[in-house]
Amino acid sequence: MIPKNVAEILRNHVVLEVESIDRMYLNGYVPLLQSDGGAASFIRNHLGKPFASTAAVAPMSHQFVIDIERFAQQNGVEIVCFAKGQRKDDVMKEYFAKFQPPEGVLFIGKAQEKAFVFRTVKRKNPQTGQSYPWLVRGTALPNHYYFYIVDDDFGPMFIKFCSYFPYAVKFCINGHEWVKRQLTKEAIGFVALDNGILSCDNPQRLQQLCLQLDEQKIDTVFRKWLARLPHPFCSEHRSAGYRYNLSNIQLELSLTHVFDRPMAGRQFFEEVVRENIDLGRPEMVQLIFGRRITRRTPSSFRTRIVTQGVVPTLNVYYKKSKIKQYYKEGRGLRTETTINDTRDFGIGRMLKNLDALRQIGFSANRRLLDVQTISHDCTMGDEKFMSLIRPSSKHGQRISALPFGNVRVQALMQTLCLFALVPNGFRSREAREYTSQLLGAFSPEYTSGKMTYDLRRLRLHGLIKRIPRSNRYQLTDDGVRASLFFTRAQTRFFRTAFSSPMCTEAKPSSVSIHAFRKAYKAVDGFIEKLQLAS
C-alpha cells in the first residue's frame, strides 16, 4: 500500500532515526594577532624588531615552508599540487583507499588561495616628511598546505595552514565519521551510509554517541595534531600566548530518517515539493528557525528546489543559513541545517558555543518536519464535515454554520492557515486585517462586529480556542485540519473542476456519456491523489 501523506510515511516507514553533527569547518586563529596593533606588538615587543614590518616575519614564513617539506620527506608523505578547479575530496579518497595504518598523514596538498594577511605600507610623517612602515589588513594569494589526516577517533579530516603571517588555520572534521569509529571500538554492528549510518544493531547507543561529540573532544584532537605537524609558531611563541583558538565557520547539523524501502522516500518528496514550495516565506522561516523576522532582517526568504535525476532537493534559506532536505542514496531522508554565520542566531562563533548551536540546528530540522507533517494531515470524515457546514447547537447555544464554498467562510479558513503554527496565536485585529484583504471587492466593509461573530462560530465549532488571560486565539488540531481541508478542496478541486463551461446538450450523445464516465473516474482518482477523500 502506498502511503498517502508525510505523517504516515514518517510514522510507519522509518526504520532508523539519527540526529548528529555532520561536517564542521572551523577557523584556527591566534587571538593576539587579530588586529593591526596586535601584529605590531608581536613584531616589536616579542620579536624585538625596531619597527613593525612584514619583512620581520618573512624568515618565520620561510622556515615554516622548510619544516613542511622536511616533514614530508622524513615521513614519506607526498606533496600534491592541486590543479585549479580540481576536487580535493576526490584526491583524498584515492589516498584513503590505499591507506593501511590506524592513523597518520595521507598526503599534503598545496594550493594558492586567497587569504586575509597583514601588509606593510609606507606612510609619511607630516612634520618631518620621513616615510615609515605601517601594518594594515589586506588580502593576498599565498600558498596553503592541506594536511589530510586519518585519526584513530575521528577518521578522515584535514588541517589547512596558510604559509603567510598571521598563519591562519582551517580545520575540518565529520561527526558521522567520528560516530562510525566509536561504534567500531564498542563492537556494535552497523552498515555505513555515505556520510551517515544506514542501520545499527543498537540504535539507542548510536544516538547517545552522536550526542557525546562535544567541543572538548574536537579541541583535543586539534591540539593533538598541532603537536605532531610542523607549526608556524615555535614553543617560545606559544609560551608567550601566541596559541590557536577555534571558532565556527560552517556547521552542519543533520537529522536522518532511513526508510524501509526506496518507494517511501520518493513518495515523501513528491508530497513535500508540492505542498511546501512556500516554506521560504518570512512567516514560515520565522516558525522554523524560531527567530523574529522584521523589515530589516537581511534575507530573501526563499525556497529553492533542485532536481538531480528523479529526486529533488529542498532548500529553505534564512540570512546566511539554510535547511537542506534531500534523499540520500535512495534510502535515507537527510534534513540538514547549515549555519554559516552563528550571529544569525545571536550566538558567538567560539567553539564553546557548540551545544547552543546544536540545539538550534536540531530544533530547526524538527520544525521543518512538523510544518510538512501538519500540512499533509488535513483529511476529515463525513460526520465532522457535515457538522461544520450545517447549523447546530451545543449546551443550549446555537452554532451558526460554516458553509463550504461561501466566500466569507473560505476567506476565514485561508486566514486561519496563516496562523496555524504561530506559538502565541493571533488577535481579532490581525485576523480581520487578513480576512478583509482576502475578501477584497466581495466585502468592502468587513467590520469588527462581523469579525467577532466569525470568531464566535469558529470557537463554538472547536476550531479555535482563547488563550487564558489574554485576547488572543489559537488554532486547535481540528482547526488546522479544517482550514487546510476547506482551502485545498476549494482551490485544487472545485475551482479547477468548474472553471470549464458546462455542456448544454439536451440529449447527451453516447460519445459525451463515455467522456463523462471517463472524466468521473478521473475526478475520483484526482480526489484520492489530493487526499480529499473522507
Which residues lie closer than 8 Å to 325 by C-beta, 6 or more apart? Answer: 272, 313, 314, 315, 316, 333, 334, 335, 336, 368
Q: Based on the domain organization, do 2 and 105 belong to the same domain?
A: no
- Residues of the chain above pLDDT 70, percent: 80
More confident call, 35 vs 504: 35
Secondary structure class of 473 (helix, strand, coil):
strand
What is the number of structural domains in the chain?
A: 4
Q: Is the pLDDT of residue 510 over 80?
A: no
Number of helices (H), then strands (E), belonging to the chain: the values are 18, 20
Q: Based on the domain organization, do 42 and 186 belong to the same domain?
A: no
Q: Based on the domain organization, do 193 and 287 belong to the same domain?
A: yes
More confident call, 487 vs 506: 487
- Assign 177 a pLDDT band (cuts: 50, 70, 90): very high
Domain interval for residue 345: 1-25+173-212+244-377
The mean-pLDDT minimum among 335-349, 448-462, 513-527 falls in 513-527
Q: Based on the domain organization, do 8 and 40 belong to the same domain?
A: no
Domain finish residue from 353, 377, 401: 377
The mean-pLDDT minimum among 55-64, 71-80, 270-279, 288-297 falls in 288-297
Provide the pLDDT for residue 357. Answer: 94
The full length of the chain comes to 534
Q: Is the pLDDT of residue 336 over 80?
A: yes
Q: Is the pLDDT of residue 462 over 70?
A: yes
The mean-pLDDT minimum among 298-307, 341-350, 403-412, 418-427 falls in 298-307
Provide the pLDDT for residue 204. Answer: 96
Domain finish residue from 321, 352, 377: 377
Q: Based on the domain organization, do 311 and 401 belong to the same domain?
A: no
The Cβ of residue 283 has, within 10 Å, a number of other Cβ atoms equal to: 16
Q: In angstroms, how far is CA 390 from the centroid of its own chain?
A: 44
Q: Is the pLDDT of residue 124 over 50?
A: yes
Provide the pLDDT for residue 127. Answer: 81
What angle separates helix 282-289 from helix 354-376, to the nearest 10 degrees? Answer: 130
Provide the pLDDT for residue 395. Answer: 79
Provide the pLDDT for residue 478. Answer: 85
Q: Based on the domain organization, do 110 and 193 belong to the same domain?
A: no
**Extended strands (E) in 266-399:** 303-308, 311-318, 321-328, 332-339, 392-394, 397-399
CA distance 267 to 69: 54
Cis status of the peptide bond prior to 262, with omega within 30 of 0? no
The mean-pLDDT minimum among 144-148, 171-175, 347-351, 435-439 falls in 435-439
Which residues lie closer than 8 Å to 480 by C-beta, 6 or more apart? Answer: 374, 378, 416, 420
Q: Based on the domain organization, do 204 and 328 belong to the same domain?
A: yes
401-408 average pLDDT score: 90
